[in-house]
Chain A
Amino acid sequence: MDERRNNDDEAARARGARLSRRELLTRAALAGAAVPSLGAILAACAAPSPAGPAAGAGAGSAAVTLDPAAKITIALTNDFKTLDPPFYTTVGERQALYSIYSPLLELDEKLDLVPNLIESWDVQDGGTTIILKVRKGVKFHDGTDLDAAAVKFNLDRILDPKNAAPQRSNIDQVSKVDVTDPLTVRLTLATAYTPLLGFLSEGPGFVASPTAIQKYGKDFGQNPVGTGPFQLLEWRKADQLILKRFDGYWKPGLPKAAQVILKPIPDETVRMANLQEGTVDIVEDVPPQDRAKVRTNPDYEHWDEAGTRWPMVRLNLKKAPLDNKLVRQAIASAVNRDDIIKAVYFGEAVPAYGPISPLYGSFYDPEVEKYGFKYDLAAAKAKLAASGATNVSFQIDVQNQQSQQRMAEVIRANLAAIGINMTIQQYESTAWTDRVNKRAYQATLGSWTLRADIDGTIYRHYALDGNQNSMGYENAQVDALLKRSRTLPNGPERVKTFRDAQKLIVDDAPWIFLLFEKQQRAWRKSVTALPKIADTMPRTDGVGRKK
């Protein structure tokens, strides 16, 4: 289901983009985002802070002494109910998983896949066989060893239909998992499926101790055992998750901190208050209205990223009046994205004209800013007239959140200017999801987040058999392109298939593309920065407090 503030699904990684950090920054700057470099932040923060620990203005230097007894507290938005990797479904749960588990593959700050528990991988037989070499000498928190059998155990557990694991559909192309020697796993796929490796860097890639799973059974979700830098010390439900250093962690010299404490704090104002008072060290998602203050405050450091989450209006192509393509295109031209960005996001977003997020590097097609529908009232009116539809009116479903209500109101005003009457109806989150699953809506305000591979943001929405295609979108050409993209290795050809598909999708307008949100992480200066990987996931192995 779509993003729901209380039950978000995970944001994943832009996969496979051979994009240097400079390119990303340039593109982001062109898109109007401000992505300050660490140097610029430090320069701005050079003034000593009036209260609190000694400013880490010299943090640029490598020889920073860290306190080995440090306890670092991270504020998250949503609570977590289970820490069993195949069964998590919310952003909060996934954010916690990175401290307890290591995924098979990881991402670097350029959003490229890098080895992790898997030292190397080899794609063979046109993509239907993948050989994974497991790293030697990795131990779980319970002292047992990581080996190919353990990896197989975990993957089989996800794939077993009896377990009904939510993470299953991300890797269900895998038909068989074999152990060919103690440290080698062979995956056999029904057909070539490029997105698979990207998924092994998130949800399905977290490896848990088979011994512990067998020991705890159904309670494993409350007693997680992984290979991550921290292990469970105490879990106070709905209050805080206290993790302590795992001395047998496989990366030498890590972790730096003695404890990491994860606190879900639902109210955004209170979250920021905790950061200010020092009861929390890191806030993963600073609300838009507070970001300007954080940027100018010398007590904090921050990191801005664009394009990790995006709202859209989905249109039901099987119901009048939105079954009429010209009506949809008229709507796309009537919406004033800048208004929404100002009114709802305090400027903390960039306009979107198509489904591909700018964080996907070379997949992102700058041409979409030309051929996509932009705010143009004259064109909108002309399209509406050409459509032959009169007295166009429909209802948009929104969830009961203030930002969604505001967004819908701006859109309603925009549409009224061309004579379309849109009514807004609020639904509670689960009821809203129900209407999407039953395709009962005419228009609905949804959102989506980044996935490990670009496929995860496109295929399931626009392919004929996409499990999120509630719009009833049926374009055989798009479908063929998307199916083909799954078999191509990353490279110019795969990029082209997505760009071609995007052109068709933008023209068909099954969604009204609105904007790409910017997100900001903020942390106290006394704490070292988490890796700047644009998926909102806190990777805590290197975090520490400066002495």
Chain B
Amino acid sequence: MGGIVARRLVAFVPVLVLTSIIVFSLLHLAPGDPVDVIVGEDRPSAEVLAQIREDLGLDQPLPVQYWTWLSRAVQGDFGYSYRSRRPVMQVVAERLPLTVELSALSILFGLAIALPLGTIAALNRGKWPDAVATALAGLGTSMPAYWLGILLIFTFSLGLHLLPPSGYVRINEDLGQNLRYMILPVFTLGSAYSAAMIRFVRASLLEHIGMDYIRTARAKGLAEPVVVRRHLFRNALIPIVTILGVETGRLLGGAILTETIFALPGLGRLSVDSILSRDFPTMQAAVMFMTVAVLGSNLLVDIAYNYIDPRIRVR
């Protein structure tokens, strides 16, 4: 097991390097100048502009700039934000608690809905529970996060006065309040997630329901819940876990729309803000984090395969 993990971690490196090159190039080749954003509206003299460019290393050729960034990054130094002049690692790190919590709760919420609904749909294929579950899935996929979020605020906050409209309370300050503020954002983000998962769960279970071993299990006289739990689920789990890994990595990259609506200090907002203000060091670090998150969750999925299905030998 250790060998597999180590090998996979080594395989991360070329992916990370390639991603960093692509992102770096795209950022620097896009129109728009970070120096414009730094100096604001009143452009100083040409000498001052040149000075700023030199201080930030922006006067160097691109490959040199990339190499400077890379050689520092491998030592853990991701540079300083152009706008706030703070170490980028700090800037990214302080967004993580919210992003991790929001992602984790959204996934749990999504699964809590998708697993039962998808199972019910699969077991009752063609009947009304299936239709309802499929319709809900369709609804969840087609409702844009922005629209759903505002709708939830209007209903549960302005309408029923049950929940606050936006904002964030840290976990270590007040767990109860933290969860209260998380309810609407989690619902918003988790709905889209669960909608996708319902269809996956359903499809994956359906594939196995018709198989011989299920018929055998039923013929043996096993109660239906036992059949579902012990046999059906474990076999159908592989595709579900796969998609779980992909979606988790995606969510950890930040949910920009949800974070904007609910004014949450997450990685999504940071990424967009730093792109719009051409804050290259911050943007680069945010993307690298997202890449690591995706690779990491895929690795966890692969490890999980070994436990779910011994027939799959991950090498």
A 216-246 to B, binary, CB cutoff 8 A, 1 in contact else 0: 0011011000000000000011111000000
> A430 with B47: in contact, given A81-B81, A467-B42 (CB under 8 Å)?
no
Which residues of chain B come closer than 8 Å to A211, judged between CB atoms? none
Say yes or no for B85: interface residue by CB 8 A criterion: yes
Q: Which residues of B contact A (CB under 8 A)?
A: 30-33, 36-45, 47-48, 51-52, 81, 83-86, 91, 94-95, 150, 153-154, 157-158, 161, 164-168, 170, 260-266, 269-270, 273, 276-278
Cα A276 to Cα B165 with chains together (Å): 9
Stretch of A23-31, A55-63, A121-129, A259-267 lying at the B interface: A259-267
Residues A237 and B40 in contact, CB atoms below 8 Å apart: no
Q: Say how far A459's CB is from chain B's closest CB, in angstroms.
A: 12
Complex contact B40–A1 (CB within 8 A): yes
CB neighbours (8 Å) of A115 from chain B are none
B180 CB, min distance to chain A CBs, angstroms: 12
The answer to the question of A504 belonging to the interface, with a C-beta cut-off of 8 Å to chain B, is no
Interface size class of A (residues with CB under 8 A): 35 or more
Q: Give chain B nearest CB distance to A5 CB in angstroms.
A: 10
Q: How far is the CB of B256 from chain A (nearest CB, A)?
A: 11
Extra inter-chain contacts (8) besides given A7-B37, A269-B150, A273-B165, CB under 8 Å: A6-B277, A219-B85, A221-B84, A238-B95, A239-B263, A270-B153, A274-B166, A430-B37
- Indicate whether A53 reaches chain B with its CB closer than 8 angstroms: no
Partner of A169 from B30, B42, B167, B168 at Cβ < 8 Å: B42
Bound-state Cα–Cα, A267 to B32, Å: 25
A431 touches B31 (CB 8 A): yes
The chain A residues found within 8 Å of chain B, CB to CB, are: 1-2, 6-7, 9, 79, 81-82, 88-90, 161-162, 164, 166-170, 218-219, 221-222, 236-240, 263-267, 269-270, 273-274, 276-277, 279, 428-431, 433-435, 437, 460, 467-468
Contact of A264 among B39, B158, B263 (CB under 8 A): B263
In the complex with contacts A273-B166, A277-B161, A430-B277 CB distance below 8 A: yes
Flag if A263 contacts B36 (CB, 8 Å): no
B83 to chain A, nearest CB (A): 4
| CB-CB nearest in chain B for A80 | B84
A265 touches B166 (CB 8 A): yes
In the assembled complex, the CB of B277 is this many whole angstroms from the nearest CB of chain A, namely: 7
Pick the contact of B158 from A79, A90, A276 — CB < 8 Å?
A276
Distance A216 CA – B91 CA, assembled complex (angstroms): 18
Contact A164 B260 (CB under 8 A): no
Instruction: Report yes or no: A265 in contact with B36, Cβ–Cβ below 8 A.
Output: no
Residue of A88, A238, A264, A468 with most chain B CB atoms under a 10 A cut-off: A238
Cross-chain contact of B261 among A238, A267, A437 (Cβ < 8 A): A267
Residue pairs across A and B with Cβ atoms less than 8 A apart, 5 shown, are A82-B85, A168-B48, A238-B270, A239-B263, A274-B164
Contacts A166-B39, A264-B263; is A239 near B168 (CB within 8 Å)?
yes
| B84 and A238 form a contact (CB under 8 A) | no
In the assembled complex, which residues on chain A have CB atoms less than 8 Å from the CB atom of B91?
237
- Our pick among A237, A430, A431, A460 for the contact of B265 (Cβ within 8 Å) is A237
- The residue in chain A whose Cβ has the minimal distance to the Cβ of B164 is A279
CB pair B85–A431 under 8 Å, yes or no, is no
Closest to B257 in A: A267
Could you tell me the distance in whole angstroms from the C-beta of A199 to the nearest C-beta in chain B? 11
| A277-B158, A430-B33 as given contacts; A9 in contact with B40, CB under 8 Å | yes
Is B269 within 8 A of A263, CB to CB?
no
Contact B265 A238 (CB under 8 A): yes
Q: How far is it, in angstroms, between the C-alpha of A164 and the C-alpha of B38 when the chains are bound?
A: 10
Q: Which residue of chain A has its CB nearest to the CB of B263?
A: A265
Are A82 and B83 within 8 A (Cβ)?
A: yes
B181 to chain A, nearest CB (A): 10
Q: How far is the CB of B41 from chain A (nearest CB, A)?
A: 4
- Neighbouring A residues of B277 by C-beta, 8 Å: 6-7, 430
Q: Do the beta carbons of B165 and A270 come within 8 Å of each other?
A: yes
* Nearest residue, chain B, Cβ from A429: B276
B43 contacts A467, C-beta separation under 8 Å: yes
Q: With a 10 A CB-CB cut-off, give which of B41, B45, B48, B265 has the most chain A CB atoms.
A: B41
| Interchain CB contact under 8 A, B165 and A274 | yes
Q: Is the CB of A170 within 8 A of B85?
A: no
Contacts of A168 in B (CB 8 A): 42, 44, 48
Q: How far is the CA of A431 from the CA of B277 in the complex (A)?
A: 10
Are A428 and B276 neighbours in the complex by a CB distance under 8 Å? yes
Given contact pairs A164-B44, A266-B263, A222 touches B86 in the complex (Cβ within 8 A): yes
Q: How far is the CA of A164 from the CA of B44 in the complex (A)?
A: 7
**Is A270 a contact partner of B166 (Cβ separation < 8 A)?**
yes
Q: Is B260 a contact of A89 with CB atoms below 8 Å?
A: no
- Contact check, B42 vs A434: say whether CB atoms are below 8 A apart: no
CA distance A279 to B186 in the complex (A): 20
Q: How far is the CB of B177 from chain A (nearest CB, A)?
A: 12
Which residue of the partner chain B has the closest CB to A276?
Answer: B158
Contact: B47 with A161, CB < 8 Å? yes
Of the residues A166, A167, A222, A266, contact of B84 by C-beta under 8 Å: A222
B48 to chain A: which residues have CB within 8 Å? Answer: 161, 164, 168
Contacts of B273 in A (CB 8 A): 6, 79
* A218-B42 contact given A277-B161, A428-B276, CB 8 Å threshold: no
8 Å CB contact of A430 from B263, B269, B278: B278
Chain B contacts for A222, CB-based, 8 A: 84, 86
Name B41's contact: one of A89, A218, A428 (CB within 8 Å).
A89
Among residues of A, the one whose C-beta sits closest to the C-beta of B39 is A166
Which B residues are in CB contact (< 8 Å) with A468?
A: 41
User: If the complex has contacts A269-B150, A434-B36, are A164 and B52 also in contact, measured as CB distance less than 8 A?
Assistant: yes
Report chain B residues within 8 Å CB of A166: 38-42, 44
A236 pairs with B165, CB closer than 8 A: no
Q: Are B263 and A273 within 8 A (Cβ)?
A: no
CB-CB nearest in chain A for B150: A269
Identify the closest chain B residue to A166 (Cβ).
B40
- Contact: B84 with A428, CB < 8 Å? no
Which B residues are CB-close (under 8 A) to A169?
A: 42-44
Decide if A2 touches B41 in the complex (CB within 8 Å).
Answer: yes
Question: Which residues of B lie under 8 Å from residue A274 when comparing CB positions?
Answer: 164-167
Sort A-B residue pairs by CB-CB distance and give the 4 closest, nearest first: A89-B40, A430-B32, A238-B265, A273-B165
Set of chain A residues within 8 Å of B269, measured between Cβ atoms: 238, 266
Q: Across the interface, which residues of B come within 8 angstroms of A90, CB to CB?
A: 40
Q: Which residue of B lies closest to A269 (CB)?
A: B150
Q: Tell me the bound Cα distance from A221 to B260 in angstroms.
A: 24
Assembly CA distance A456 to B41 (angstroms): 12
Q: Bound state CA distance, A100 and B44, in angstroms?
A: 27
> Does B270 contact A277, Cβ atoms closer than 8 Å?
no
Give the CA-CA distance A460 to B85 in the complex, in Å.
29
Is A170 in contact with B86, judged by CB distance below 8 angstroms?
Answer: no
A279: chain B residues at CB < 8 Å are 164-167
**Distance, CA A2 to CA B40, complexed state (A):** 9
Interface centre among B31, B165, B262 (most CB of A within 10 A): B165
* Given contact pairs A164-B48, A433-B36, A277 touches B263 in the complex (Cβ within 8 A): no
Residues of A contacting B85 with CB < 8 Å?
Answer: 82, 218-219, 221
A81–B88 CA distance with the chains assembled, in angstroms: 13
B31 partner residues in chain A, CB cutoff 8 A: 430-431, 434-435
- Shortest C-beta distance, B282 to chain A (Å), equals 10
Contact A162 B51 (CB under 8 A): yes
B260 adjacent to A267 (CB under 8 Å): yes
Q: Which residue of A lies closest to B43 (CB)?
A: A467
Q: Smallest CB–CB gap between B31 and chain A, Å?
A: 4
Query: Which residues of the partner chain B approach A79 to less than 8 Å between Cβ atoms?
Result: 273
